[in-house]
Amino acid sequence: MLFTDDITSLQCCMSNIMHCSIVMYGLRTYYSTKLIDDTVDVAAVSSIKTFQSVTWDRVRLATSSDPDMQTLLETIESGMSNNRSELPLSMWEYFPFRDNLHSADGVILYKNRFLVPPSLRQEVLESLHSAHQGASTMTARTDLSVVWPGINPAISKMREYCQHCNRIAPSNPSAPPTPLFDPSYPFQCVCANYFHYKGCNYLLVVDRYSNWPIVIKHAHAGADGLIDCLRRTFVTFGIPDELASDGCPEFTTTSTGKFLNDWGYTIAYHRLLFRIATAMQKLG
């Protein structure tokens, strides 16, 4: 929320901002420093020209002009019911605030914060984000000044859709992928997919060493069918050192986990390896 002293402070420091060549120093960006500085300067100057303080009188006027806010004001002054169903539908969103709502001189307050009428909420959001701060900083400021139902999601949305903030935000690269283990002999590492096709259930197992596929048909769906197929595979071809899957529900159940632990290893979930089994399934 912007007050008169905020505007004065911004106007006093504008001359410093206009000549500051390192105002965005340290941000990782593909734009030149001068371009960013100029963009920030223009945004700051434009914001100052459009700033208008949200004063007590403006809040009171907006409250008196809004029928729902007037209904809320009358409800507060007469005593709000503890049964939400007894309130008008438009008052339901204010029901969680009922214990700390009160009024003063035609303005609704929640504890010591303004309850901002709907007509001023967008203006307050724009004032809060005029310095292009993050959602946590804006939320911390509203905790001391203003409130309305859904203010925190509105702040997060304002920051999320701000193109200027997204353009200059630091870029954190993703961590490098973990290298895959290269098998040394057949059926040392396999990837599997359990799926349903035309009324039947199938376990597709692909050996990573030879790319040899195995398809096992089973009548039962779910973890029980998967466990039976895995047991038949292990008995026939041996127990692999690594079994990779995409983590579908059949592989993540408690019974499947216990079965794999009983056989001496845990399952690994790799979406990259799962694509091998999926590709084999499509080719088949």
CB 195 within 8 Å of CB 202: yes
Through-space distance between the first and last CA atoms of the chain, rounded to whole angstroms? 63
Domain that holds residue 213: 189-283
Q: What is the pTM of this model?
A: 0.46
In tens, the pLDDT along 92-117 reads 999 999 999 999 999 999 999 989 99
pLDDT digits (tens, 9 = 90+) for 11-26: 444 444 344 333 333 3
- CA separation for the pair 235, 233 (Å, rounded): 6
Sign of CA pseudo-dihedral 64, 69, 74, 76: negative
Burial of 95 (0-12, 13-18, 19+ CB in 10 A): middle
| 165 within a domain of the structure (yes/no) | no
Q: Is residue 198 part of a domain?
A: yes
What are the pLDDT digits (tens) for 213-223? 989 888 777 88
Does residue 250 form part of some domain?
A: yes
Phi-psi sector, 187: left (phi>0), alpha (psi -120 to 50), beta: left
Residue 194: per-residue pLDDT: 86
Give the CATH number, domain containing residue 241: 3.30.420.10
**Residue 158 included in any domain:** no
Report whether pLDDT(89) > 70.
Answer: yes
Question: What are the tokens at 174?
Answer: 């993703």
pLDDT in tens, 183-192: 899 988 888 8
DSSP structure class, residue 107? E
Is residue 203 classed exposed, middle or buried when 0-12, 13-18 and 19+ CB atoms within 10 A define those classes? Answer: buried
In a domain, 58, yes or no: no
Beta bridge partners of 102: 109
Total number of domains in the chain: 1
| Position 166 in a domain | no
What integer pLDDT is reported at residue 269 of this predicted model? 53
Any domain includes 105: no
Residue 34 lies in a domain: no
